[in-house]
Amino acid sequence: MAFEQDTHFQVTYIICRTAGFTAAESLLIAAADQGMDDSSGTVANGGVGGIIPNVKEEWLWHALDKGGDMRAIGVVQRKDRIFTAAENAPGKPLYLLGVFFHYQQDTWAHRHHYDGQFHSYDRYTTYNTPFGHAPAGHQPDRPPFDPGTAIMNIEDGLKYAKRYLTEVLHRAPRGFIANYQPVGPGSLQPNWAPGGPYYHQAKEDGGAGSPRRFFTDLIRAQINAYKSSSDPLYYFRHTADEADLNATSRNLQGVCNQYASFIGDTITIPTIAQKNSQGFLNMTTAQLLNAGLPD
């Protein structure tokens, strides 16, 4: 399922609000994003215990390579096809942007990490259907595993949020990020406890009050909310446990509060109950294809 709720819902909401979407629009988009994992008809893995691959959904909505035939360039091309379809779908329903963001974010999580791969927009080794990153467990879903991709995911998502605002809604993005250009993955924070080869912290980057510092501060705060434990899949080294969403919300909210004057607005992260109230818990592939997204 790639990034978990702290990214697919909470960080997506922050990206949208930072770009210039309203609170209501951002909630709808972020809820639809997380709804791709909440809905049994679109989730990558289902069945008893949630471990049975839904192969069609894996490559349609979760940026897994279709049996190794697409490669990274094919996955990125599909990402752009989904975005274009969301822009041009009949009625331009905003929830389709959330479906797009889920795929876009999964392009950053569903790639090989820490095995000779480098950070790149379109030159990387994909995880493939049907097994995805099963041999790596849940770690590719969690920012402490690779903070660089988490930062690049924010930069990439912001680019598309600004495009949708200008091309579809015909509104200008916020001045805070209007001219921001991606910087890349940045560096890891040295000597960070618990540290180790599979559990990392991003290094602070950018000038005080700048968008780059805001993005790295968000990732740093998100990672600081994680706890870790010994993981047999990683030779009993420490890896990140599943996030406590109350802790990630609290930490991310603290960063948003610090940057309110720079952004020009107060961003208040919604609750999981507010997400659920949007109703994106029973989406299906047939529904999304009928809405105009590509197969």
Q: State residue 2's pLDDT score.
A: 63
Tokens of 28: 């709808």
Q: Is the dihedral of CA 181, 185, 189, 194 positive or negative?
A: positive
pLDDT tens digits, 173-229: 999 999 999 999 999 999 888 778 899 999 999 999 999 999 999 999 999 999 999
Tokens of 47: 């069945």
Q: State residue 183's pLDDT score.
A: 95
**Chain-wide mean pLDDT for the chain?**
95
295, with CB counted inside 10 A (0-12, 13-18, 19+), is: exposed
Residue 1: band (very low, low, confident or very high) from pLDDT cuts 50, 70, 90: low
Determine the Cα angle at 290 with ends 288 and 292, to 5°: 75
Q: State residue 12's pLDDT score.
A: 98
Tokens of 111: 């790639």
pLDDT tens digits, 16-28: 999 999 999 999 9
- 237 DSSP β-pair partners: 231
**272, 245 Cβ separation under 8 angstroms:** yes
> Of 52-56, 159-163, 167-171, where does mean pLDDT reach its minimum?
52-56
Q: State residue 141's pLDDT score.
A: 93
> Of 96-110, 185-199, 272-286, where does mean pLDDT reach its minimum?
185-199
Number of neighbouring beta carbons within 10 Å of residue 265: 17
Q: State residue 193's pLDDT score.
A: 83
Q: State residue 3's pLDDT score.
A: 82
Question: Rounded CA gap, 129 and 60, in Å?
Answer: 11
Q: State residue 31's pLDDT score.
A: 98
Q: How big, in percent rounded to 5, are the helix, strand and coil portions of the chain?
A: 50, 5, 40
Q: Give the ranges where the chain is alpha helix by DSSP (H).
A: 5, 12-19, 23-38, 55-61, 71-88, 95-109, 147-167, 211-224, 245-258, 260-263, 272-277, 285-290
Specify the 3-state DSSP secondary structure of 143. helix
This prediction has a pTM of: 0.97
Question: Rounded CA gap, 252 and 116, in Å?
Answer: 31
Q: Is the dihedral of CA 109, 110, 112, 117 positive or negative?
A: negative
Query: What's the average model confidence in pLDDT over 262-290?
Result: 98
pLDDT tens digits, 112-160: 987 666 799 999 999 999 999 999 999 999 999 999 999 999 999 999 9
**159, 21 Cβ separation under 8 angstroms:** no
pLDDT tens digits, 46-83: 866 677 899 999 999 999 999 999 999 999 999 999 99
Cis peptide before 144 (omega within 30 of 0): no
